[in-house]
Amino acid sequence: MQQRRKTILLALVATVVALNLFLVGLFTVALGEAKLRKEAEVRTTVDNLALLLDQNVSSSIRGIDQSLREVQLHLERALRNQTLLDDPEVGALVTFHHNWLAQIAELRVSDERGNVMLGHRVTPDTRVNYGDRDFFVAHQAHNDGRTQASKLLYGRIAGDWITVFSRRYNHPDGRFAGVVTAAVPVRHFQELLSGLKMGARGIALMRDTDMTLIARAPRLDAPAGQIGRRGGSQELADLLASGQSHATFYSARTADGVNRTNAYRKLALMPAFVVVGMGEDDYLAQWRDDVRKAAILSGLFLLVTVCTAWLLWRLIRANERAHRRSQILLQNASDGIHIIDLQGRVIEASDSFCRMLGVSRQEAIGMSVTQWDVALSEAEIRALIARVHASREVTTFETTHRRRDGSERAVEITAFSLDLHGQPVVFGSARDITERKQADENLRIAATAFNSQVAMLITDAQQRIVRVNAAFTEVTGYAADEVIGQTPHLLSSGRHDAAFYALMWSELQERGSWQGEIWNRRKSGEIYPQAISIGAVKDERGRVTHYVSTFIDITSNKTSEEQVRKLAFFDPLTQLPNRRLLLERLEHALRSCARHKSKGALLVVDLDNFKSVNDTVGHHEGDLLLEQVSRILQSCVREEDTVARLGSDEFVVMLEALSEDDMEAARHAEIVGTKILQALHRTFQLGSSEHRGSASIGITLFGENPAESVDEPLKRADLAMAQAKLAGRNHLCFFDAKMQADIHARAELDAGLWSALEKGQFFLQYQPQVSAERQIIGVEALVRWRHPERGMVSPADFIPVAEDNGLIVPLGRWVIETACAQLAQWASDPDKAGLSIAVNVSARQLRQERFVADVCEILDRTGVNPARLELELTESSLVTDVESVIRKMDALKARGVCFSLDDFGTGYSSLAYLKRLPLDQLKIDQGFVRDILDDPNDAAIARTVIVLAESLGLKVIAEGVETEAQSAFLGRQGCHAYQGYLFSRPLNVADLEAFLAAWRP
């Protein structure tokens, strides 16, 4: 036994160790892979940020270079015309270009000796000479015709650190005449760095090739962070020495003590490089939190497994002790314990069983049941043993045993089957019930009548309790000795008045019985409902001798009724009234308004961005938010007002009896609505996360028209709520009759769209696309709708409706098919065979599984050159399931179809996905082109798009070009093509062909 116990203990310990080692190993592998994925993601991010910074700096330098070229050309022209440098026209030119570059650089001009003559902050008293500057010496020695960029210098005029971009200008005979310089202060580079989002511990810096610090964000208040100071990590020095243009690296010993993953990129247009880094503590914060959680889980798992093993060990020890106790109890039990095999022979017997039969234990072992059981035949005994063995359940039956002396005793046998050392046996317990059966015989009739499942109470004629049954004790909690001699008033709940009891006793005396429902009190003080029946017992003379009361507890019935009522009329989550109960109360409120000529208000409250809560933190936290909102809404209204939940995140507040005056009622409703908006515009704590809440509220008054249905106010408030959402959320909006008209018009538009497609009311117009050389290279297909009654319907009106109702899918397929048919027709005309047609594809259309197959089928059927078909995608197409979009684009790209990204920069502009998309062209949105000459931000965005497209090998087309100045500016930036009213409005096919025939570049 001791050896077996030791083996079990070792097995338990080994199991605990193995399970915990497995869990720790699993966590280690998972966390290691998670860290590697996060580090790879961060390297991609910082590389993209460094690329973006490189492009921003390069874009600025190109602008400087363009201005320096124009000043150089003008100065050389002035020298050819023998115009002096102090000529007003020359000064005006320099001032103009300085103003153009005012946000970036300071423009100045020096003569052949290096004396600064013209430019920003240059006066007749200025005595600054560039003769000893490296850039001046280099231009003086070499006429290379290029713009040079210096390393970091300390400006003698600016009094600050600068980088100088310079160009040489010459006398008519080619001799050196001086230099034109643009001094860029380091604050410009500092602003470029500061615009990057790199996290709390991120860094962006710029150094020249001598490792001199030009700019750093954030600034570092230490010697290493001073502008003009040489420094930098060994990793940076090695990268610079290697000649690599870009790379990523990890730095563990930075000047501010922060470990980072960095991206290095050498600038092509100036002797400098940029570094963008993200702090390890920022991007690994979640991972480290996961490590802590894994450690806690591992500790908890270790604790649970150790406790489980300890409990199992305790259980094994307890089983051993129980086994020893059972052996003792077997021999000393008062009942006759005996164990028989399936043939009915005794294999074990207790001393009390032997005494019951009047035999010794040695004589009992081996005896057959048939030797003492006289009530059952041998066949019945075998069948009973087989039944007990087969059922595997406890079986109790009565029989008669004969003792050795010949006397017989009634016994009760409790038997069940078990396995003893692998052998099936029957365990039996015999109890002598001879005396009990005699007593039961005497009481059976009375007990059957009285001890039923129904509680019974018997009183005498004076209403003193004389007897109660067991069911009475179970229901009331009072034992018999606690109530006998008392009156039933002991059970009174106090809920019924004297009139109730007087009526009950009057009916009892008249009819001799009374039944109904009554509320009584248990011994514990709990009040509960009863279904009770009282009858009077009379003697042969008709006098009442006793009263017999029977009752049952109907609490469960009442509870079920209440639960059914709650399920029917209340929301199970918030316990607020549901739609059914709200409509009942609204119907009552409408009748009340009609009687009292008052007005009420209905407020539909819809939570803003509730779906994001369920999508990000889960439905459980979403339910927590709804419960908190329900409590807030109830706190914002009066007790007599109704707050209901219609479903999901939509609530309704009904305000009754506000005022007889419409304006006064509206003012009260607006006050309540504003109070609700302010109460919901707060941060909600949802478990371990936070959610910034707000709501949109639609308000309508009711009571003006008593005959209106209960649905009408709800519809009006719902329309007002939708208008509030359109107004930008976190707003309230009163219902306006114009809303109803708009909804009606939209419904008519929705119904008419399907009919329009079937009846062929749609047609295409084409807007020409012109290259930088003023050659027409293609057209964009634009769908139009000519309604038989309304005339031309604006695409801005019917396209959003088509997106909502799904018509955009068959309509988009019709547009592609019509455009391909037009390409097939043009293919036979040499003047038009080279034209391409661009077709817009909606996000919903692109998500269709058959999109690729449909386009391929149209190409095969029309026989057009796929390279002449260009599909324009909007950035909204990339918001969901980007991988599926890329697969479909790759499939069509393999067929030769071209792709353009429309409205670039207005939506989901992700460099990570942009470089993976098989695009041919980027389209600059007309919103940037419209103010490109007046808004520096629009100009900068346009330049950035063009530079980005150039770096990715993509073409660029600008839409919305309406003036020659816009076209000229875009051309100077490197734009390839244009589209807009400067060249042509959208045209029908016949007008387009006439336009093409008359076009002259």
- What's the pLDDT tens digit per position in 805-855? 788 899 999 999 999 999 999 998 888 888 999 999 988 888 888 999 999
- What residue ranges do the domains of the chain occupy? 42-185, 189-285, 335-439, 451-559, 570-735, 748-998
DSSP run (H or E) holding 394: none
**What are the φ and ψ backbone dihedral angles of 184, each rounded to 5 degrees?**
-100, 115
Nearest to 859 by CA among 828, 813, 902: 813
Pull the structure tokens for residue 429: 């317990």
CATH number of 335-439: 3.30.450.20
533-561: average pLDDT: 79
> Is residue 562 pLDDT above 70, yes or no?
no
In three-state form (DSSP H/G/I as H, E/B as E, the rest C), the secondary structure along 933-982 is CCCHHHHHHHHHHHHHHHHHCCEEEEECCCCHHHHHHHHHHCCCEEECCC
Highest mean pLDDT among 121-130, 181-190, 418-427, 500-509 belongs to 181-190
CATH number of 570-735: 3.30.70.270
> Is residue 168 pLDDT above 90, yes or no?
yes
- Residue 831, SS3? coil
58-78: average pLDDT: 87
What is the pLDDT, as a whole number, of residue 445?
A: 43
- Residue 530, SS3? strand
Question: pLDDT grade, residue 440 (50/70/90)?
Answer: low
Angstrom distance (rounded) from CA 60 to CA 638: 63
Least confident of 324-328, 367-371, 385-389, 479-483: 324-328
Q: b vs e for 289-299, b when ≥16 Cβ sit within 10 Å of the residue's Cβ? A: ebbeebeeebe
What is the pLDDT, as a whole number, of residue 561?
A: 62
Angstrom distance (rounded) from CA 874 to CA 627: 39
Residue 753 vs residue 287, higher pLDDT? 287
Least confident of 52-61, 438-447, 595-604, 791-800: 438-447
Q: 136 and 129 in contact (C-beta within 8 Å)?
A: no
Pull the structure tokens for residue 786: 């000519």
- What's the pLDDT tens digit per position in 210-263? 889 999 888 888 877 788 888 888 888 888 888 888 999 888 877 777 888 999
> Is residue 736 pLDDT above 80, yes or no?
no
Nearest to 63 by CA among 33, 104, 121, 2: 104
> Is residue 986 pLDDT above 60, yes or no?
yes
Q: How far is CA 772 from CA 665, 839, 923, 975, in A?
A: 64, 22, 15, 7
Residues in a beta bridge with 265 = 246, 274
Give the chain's mean pLDDT.
84
Angstrom distance (rounded) from CA 990 to CA 987: 8
What is the pLDDT, as a whole number, of residue 398?
A: 84
Question: pLDDT grade, residue 296 (50/70/90)?
Answer: very high
57-65: average pLDDT: 88
Give helix then strand counts, H and E, for the chain: 31, 37
In three-state form (DSSP H/G/I as H, E/B as E, the rest C), the secondary structure along 961-972 is CCCHHHHHHHHH
Residue 558 vs residue 542, higher pLDDT? 542
Contacts of 6 (CB under 8 A, 6+ apart): none
- What's the pLDDT tens digit per position in 715-726? 888 888 888 888
**What are the φ and ψ backbone dihedral angles of 726, each rounded to 5 degrees?**
-65, -25
DSSP run (H or E) holding 679: helix 662-680
Instruction: Domain 42-185: give its CATH superfamily.
Output: PAS domain (3.30.450.20)
Altogether, the residues listed in the chain come to a count of: 1001
Tokens 């991988």 -> residue: 883
**What are the φ and ψ backbone dihedral angles of 38, each rounded to 5 degrees?**
-65, -40
Q: 291 and 31 in contact (C-beta within 8 Å)?
A: yes
DSSP structure class, residue 572: T
Angstrom distance (rounded) from CA 925 to CA 960: 8
CATH number of 748-998: 3.20.20.450
What is the pLDDT, as a whole number, of residue 956?
A: 92
Question: pLDDT grade, residue 680 (50/70/90)?
Answer: confident
Nearest to 133 by CA among 153, 148, 119: 153
Q: 700 and 734 in contact (C-beta within 8 Å)?
A: yes
Tell the burial category of 75 from Cβ atoms under 10 Å away from its Cβ (0-12, 13-18, 19+).
buried
- What's the pLDDT tens digit per position in 846-882? 888 899 999 999 999 999 999 999 999 887 666 567 7
Q: 780 and 764 in contact (C-beta within 8 Å)?
A: no
DSSP run (H or E) holding 526: none
Angstrom distance (rounded) from CA 320 to CA 118: 107
For 254-277, the DSSP string reads -TTS--EEEEEEE-SSSSEEEEEE
pTM equals: 0.39
Least confident of 52-56, 86-90, 308-312, 666-670: 86-90
Angstrom distance (rounded) from CA 922 to CA 944: 12
- Residue 751, SS3? helix
> Is residue 907 pLDDT above 60, yes or no?
no
- What's the pLDDT tens digit per position in 649-679? 889 999 988 888 777 888 888 889 889 988 8
Residue type, 910: S
| Bridge pairing between strands 921-924 and 955-959 | parallel
CATH architecture, domain 451-559? 2-Layer Sandwich (3.30)
CATH number of 189-285: 3.30.450.20
Least confident of 662-666, 756-760, 947-951: 662-666
Nearest to 186 by CA among 291, 105, 74, 102: 105
Task: Strand 203-208: give its sheet, edge to edge.
Answer: 213-217, 203-208, 272-279, 260-266, 246-251
Question: pLDDT grade, residue 363 (50/70/90)?
Answer: confident
Do domains 189-285 and 748-998 share one topology? The answer is: no
DSSP run (H or E) holding 158: none
Q: How far is CA 505 from CA 247, 510, 547, 765, in A?
A: 101, 8, 12, 95
